[in-house]
Structure 1
Amino acid sequence: MSLLHINRVRRRRLGAATAAAGLLATLLTAGPALASPDPGDGPTQKAKVSSGQQAEDRSAITSGEIPGVDEIVHSDNVEHLVNIPKGALKGTNTDISFQGKYAYAGNYDGFTIYDISDPKAPKTVSEVLCPGGQHDVSVSGDLLILSTDSSRSDNSCNSTSQSATVKESWEGIKIFDISDKRNPKYVAAVETACGSHTNTIVPERRNVYVYVSSYGPQAAYPDCQPPHDGISIVKVPRKAPENSRVIDFPVLFPGEGPDGGGNPGAPTNPGVSKTTGCHDITVLPSKDLAAGACMGDGILFSIKNPERPEIIDRVQDNVNFAFWHSATFNQGAKKIVFTDELGGGGSATCNAEVGPNRGANGIYDIVGKGDQRKLVFRSYFKIDRHQADSEVCVAHNGSLIPVKGRDLMVQAWYQGGVSVWDFTDSSKPQEIGFFERGPVRLDRVTTAGPWSSYYYNGHVYSNDIAKGLDVLKINDKRTNPAKRIRLDELNAQTQPDYFDDDHGRDD
């Protein structure tokens, strides 16, 4: 960080913190009638910040140690091109996928399709209103897969919140035909056990396999019973998506007892989530590998047969990891970056009290060959730009920046902003650029900032929970070679081989 000039603001590292303008959208209904956003699917109200903490944060703003309310700051090598505020969908913004000149951005109320052919001036093509949350999104060909992880009255886009204790309630994946970007069509739905918190696709010529991650079973939930130590696999025929169905529920953590064989969590491992399923899975089809971030466990597994995944290795970190959230392979599948969603994405954890290891990324080398491969821990990486006590900050979704011979990544940190970092040396990762906004407010802990930040065809696209879509450009000799790489499609959880002619083009 010492090489980075920061606009006006001197960053706080050892502080005492404790704890383009309005585009008209075409609103599309994906059901027989207009649905209304359901506030029951949004984030819960956050805790108040004490007057003493507020005073400390105001002092830090005055001295330039942290940015002011809504102030934008960034390193010299990161340029903020544009922000597109939310349109008709006012819920929480979530994940993003890409295809050609289009970006597909999830939102608790549905999803938005943007035309990003001009990254400096993205245009809203359509908005699909279909409340349900959290709406992780993946695309393949003419199909869009949307995850619903909130219990609904039915599978329509006019559904309302309904308790998971009711047998008729619905959660799972919705499938849309996106061949007409201005008029996406809702074509199918598949109910999955405990819903679909996230989805990861393994595309093939005739079918799209969808790995559905979900968790949180309870005996009172008819369709979400413990133990829930696996994932749902949904097979989606490209030419007949209406015939999509669950084909298997492989158990990833076999074991005796009502909770299965995953991490038992507290009291055995205090401060660690009990594994009752997976939060997110990343696949690397070119290597027949997948990495699972599964609450209290990290796993490496083979997907040579996408219908029959097999575990290769499993790791835990019962000292510093609270909730294994997501995973990213490096190019060549020699490393995995696992993220920790400390505080569940609802707490101010980027401060001196929490420290540099808890809530950090964990970098693991993959050593050995074949079924004997092992995950070996090398280091932690966490942004050292401390945030205000009112700012929810957590390691979240990111992607590789494709540069041969280097391991570079862009990553969202909620109100910690967007981090550009280098983990070429697994033991000595370092941040090389950033973009962030100051706190939304100082009196209450708020959830805002980038949910997902991905590098796609020369630019970074960041879906800000509260502010809308941001487009960034990185100007740095270390990342500039990536600007020559062009993809036809990117789902960050379905990692391409960037230097394989079948997946990317080095122009």
Structure 2
Amino acid sequence: MTLSNKPRTRRRRLGIAAAAAGLLAALLTAHPATATPDPGDAPAADKEVSRSAQAEVREALENGEIPGQDEIVHSANIEHLTNIPKDVLPGTNSDLAFQGRYAYAGNYDGFRIFDISNPRAPKTVAQVLCPGSQNDISVSGDLLFLSTDSSRSDSSCNSTTQPVTEKSSWEGMKVFDISDKRNPKYVAAVETACGSHTHTLLPERKNIYVYVSSYSPNAAYPDCQPPHDGISVIKVPRYAPEKAAVVGFPVLFPGEGADGGGNPGAPTNPGVSKTTGCHDITVLPSKDLAAGACMGDGILFSIKDPERPKVIDRVQDNVNFAFWHSATFNQDADKVVFTDELGGGGAATCNATVGPDRGADGIYDIVGKGDKRKLVFRSYYKIPRHQADTENCVAHNGSLIPVKGKDIMVQAWYQGGVSVWEFTDSKRPREIAYFERGPISTEQLVGGGSWSAYYYNGYIYSNDLVKGFDVLKLSDRRTDPAKRVRLDELNVQTQPDYFD
């Protein structure tokens, strides 16, 4: 394993050859996330690239401008402690959640529980086979929640794929009892309109509310009819989860007709996804706030009444954002970072051709008070290292690193790796650390890289689609104060008040 102790400037113009061949242009003008029947964030299918692009990648490797195939490189302030490869669950790795000494790792074939008491040597506690795209995962107390966004024959963990056009098909939320970590028990299932691509927990003492994000309806889908311009709200009694049920479908984008009132997308806004629901929601319970990344729109809304969220403000970026993917508040709740999943996670968008403003983060200040608060755009952030045209790379899931008085987060970028960056000055974001692997392939675009990279109790944990579970240690005077912050539980989309 070769380590790099300084960032690479990478001034070459990777991607020019592929763009000339028309491959990249085709990827970027297509809708970034299709939904028939497994929408968004799907494992990237291998794609051929032109011979000139292959030659450019080989030249960049020979010149040391990008890491070698599967070579690990990182900044001097990050240490790679370990990697745990995939085991009995062969599917694509997805999101992460944390509780005490445990990490919960989603996988398209189920989920895996790690004991991370010793972050240098995590131990597998359980692996649960329960197929269903994309198995977005959260935990609260003795309950674990799993999203199913692929059309299944039934709600069981033994289900098979089935056409979404069949009324008997099932998609939605699954609930497990994890009081015995070595033997999780499946206790409830709730079907939701258009399935559950992602979900967000809003826990209370007796009940847990689940905001279910799903999208891309079709008149031919019996359980996913247009307009689909809101979110499903599930109420789960903490001590009787078998009684979990949908209690509402608040409309976030009111409008007339079958298309609802969200961003119309193409042809009105070429290259932008039409809004037919939300991709992901982040709640900040201590402030009664939520931020929604909703395909063609970013929204800020109040959750004082958890069953009836109220939209405060809504923004669009029809120049540089293709697909509003996820959101992160800063600790003071006066900023939101939205991510743009240009290319749906399956394209090579971290190159000079695409540039620094597309497939990036958008930093927004929250100005004003109460229901008059507004989202005001300040700047974009994108990793400063160009990736090869055989590497899928775009802004993806990340979390705050809790440093009082500073706005710092860690973020996954698929094969762009893991980036630690600061946005204390909303107009001048900057990277302060990174970790990445070289391309999986130098001959074709192969999907892989970090799906989620989160900071939890002193360490960074990353779930790589292909390579498995990585643990990183960050040592930097700017982030070291975060090591004193300890949490009992972390679902990143349910942001804690770290300093309350």
> Normalising by the residue count of structure 2, what TM-score does the alignment of the two structures yield?
0.94
Aligned residue number for residue 188 of structure 1: 188
Write out per-residue CA displacement over residues 461-499 of structure 1, whole angstroms, 9 at most, x where no aligned residue: 000000000000101000000000000000000000000
Aligned residue number for residue 465 of structure 1: 465
How far residue 49 of structure 1 moved from its aligned partner, in angstroms, is 1.2
Instruction: Provide closer, same or farther for how the CA distance between residues 478 and 7 of structure 1 changes in structure 2, counting only shifts above 3 A.
Output: closer
Name the CA distance, whole Å, in 2 between partners of 1:112 and 1:167: 31
Give yes or no for contact 2:448–2:465 (8 Å, CA) kept in 1: yes
Aligned residue number for residue 88 of structure 1: 88
Aligned residue number for residue 23 of structure 1: none
Instruction: Provide closer, same or farther for how the CA distance between residues 283 and 8 of structure 1 changes in structure 2, counting only shifts above 3 A.
Output: closer
Aligned residue number for residue 50 of structure 1: 50
Name the CA distance, whole Å, in 1 between partners of 2:192 and 2:274: 21
Aligned residue number for residue 15 of structure 1: 13
Name the CA distance, whole Å, in 1 between partners of 2:382 and 2:338: 12
Matched AA of 2:236? V
Which contiguous aligned blocks of 4+ residues in structure 1 show a shift greater than 4 angstroms? none
Aligned residue number for residue 221 of structure 1: 221
Give yes or no for contact 1:9–1:65 (8 Å, CA) kept in 2: no
Name the CA distance, whole Å, in 1 between partners of 2:404 and 2:142: 31
Name the CA distance, whole Å, in 2 between partners of 1:10 and 1:383: 11
Aligned residue number for residue 369 of structure 1: 369
Write out per-residue CA displacement over residues 66-95 of structure 1, whole angstroms, 9 at most, x where no aligned residue: 001000000000110000011100100000
Aligned residue number for residue 420 of structure 1: 420
How far residue 42 of structure 1 moved from its aligned partner, in angstroms, is 6.3
Name the CA distance, whole Å, in 2 between partners of 1:313 and 1:287: 16
Give yes or no for contact 1:42–1:108 (8 Å, CA) kept in 2: no
Name the CA distance, whole Å, in 2 between partners of 1:42 and 1:158: 21
How far residue 44 of structure 1 moved from its aligned partner, in angstroms, is 5.2
Aligned residue number for residue 302 of structure 1: 302
Name the CA distance, whole Å, in 2 between partners of 1:147 and 1:102: 20
Name the CA distance, whole Å, in 2 between partners of 1:16 and 1:423: 27
Name the CA distance, whole Å, in 2 between partners of 1:429 and 1:450: 21
How far residue 52 of structure 1 moved from its aligned partner, in angstroms, is 1.1
> Normalising by the residue count of structure 1, what TM-score does the alignment of the two structures yield?
0.93
Name the CA distance, whole Å, in 2 between partners of 1:44 and 1:289: 33
Name the CA distance, whole Å, in 2 between partners of 1:496 and 1:489: 9
Aligned residue number for residue 131 of structure 2: 131
- Structure 1 alignment gaps of length 5 or more: 20-37, 501-507
Mapping 1:105-184, distance limit 5 Å: 105-184=105-184
Secondary structure of 1:56's partner?
helix
Give yes or no for contact 2:13–2:353 (8 Å, CA) kept in 1: no
Identical aligned pairs, as a percentage?
76
Name the CA distance, whole Å, in 2 between partners of 1:313 and 1:7: 43
How far residue 7 of structure 1 moved from its aligned partner, in angstroms, is 4.0
Aligned residue number for residue 25 of structure 1: none
Aligned residue number for residue 360 of structure 1: 360
How far residue 8 of structure 1 moved from its aligned partner, in angstroms, is 7.9
Write out per-residue CA displacement over residues 290-326 of structure 1, whole angstroms, 9 at most, x where no aligned residue: 0000000000000001111000000000000000000
Aligned residue number for residue 22 of structure 1: none
Mapping 1:93-492, distance limit 5 Å: 93-492=93-492
Give yes or no for contact 2:45–2:447 (8 Å, CA) kept in 1: no
Give yes or no for contact 1:9–1:66 (8 Å, CA) kept in 2: no
Name the CA distance, whole Å, in 1 between partners of 2:487 and 2:364: 27
Name the CA distance, whole Å, in 2 between partners of 1:45 and 1:299: 31
How many residues of Structure 1 are paired with residues of Structure 2 in the alignment? 476
Name the CA distance, whole Å, in 1 between partners of 2:396 and 2:62: 29
Give yes or no for contact 1:8–1:64 (8 Å, CA) kept in 2: no
Instruction: Provide closer, same or farther for how the CA distance between residues 335 and 179 of structure 1 changes in structure 2, counting only shifts above 3 A.
Output: same
Matched AA of 1:443? E
Name the CA distance, whole Å, in 1 between partners of 2:42 and 2:101: 30
How far residue 51 of structure 1 moved from its aligned partner, in angstroms, is 1.4
Write out per-residue CA displacement over residues 389-415 of structure 1, whole angstroms, 9 at most, x where no aligned residue: 100001000000000000000000000
Matched AA of 2:98? F
Give yes or no for contact 1:178–1:184 (8 Å, CA) kept in 2: yes
How far residue 9 of structure 1 moved from its aligned partner, in angstroms, is 7.5
Give yes or no for contact 1:108–1:134 (8 Å, CA) kept in 2: yes
Name the CA distance, whole Å, in 2 between partners of 1:68 and 1:486: 37
- Structure 2 alignment gaps of length 5 or more: 19-37
Name the CA distance, whole Å, in 1 between partners of 2:145 and 2:7: 41
Name the CA distance, whole Å, in 2 between partners of 1:473 and 1:218: 45
How far residue 277 of structure 1 moved from its aligned partner, in angstroms, is 0.3
Give yes or no for contact 2:357–2:382 (8 Å, CA) kept in 1: yes
Instruction: Provide closer, same or farther for how the CA distance between residues 308 and 191 of structure 1 changes in structure 2, counting only shifts above 3 A.
Output: same
Name the CA distance, whole Å, in 2 between partners of 1:9 and 1:300: 36
Instruction: Provide closer, same or farther for how the CA distance between residues 8 and 60 of structure 1 changes in structure 2, counting only shifts above 3 A.
Output: farther
Name the CA distance, whole Å, in 2 between partners of 1:336 and 1:247: 28
Name the CA distance, whole Å, in 1 between partners of 2:269 and 2:411: 28
Matched AA of 2:456? Y
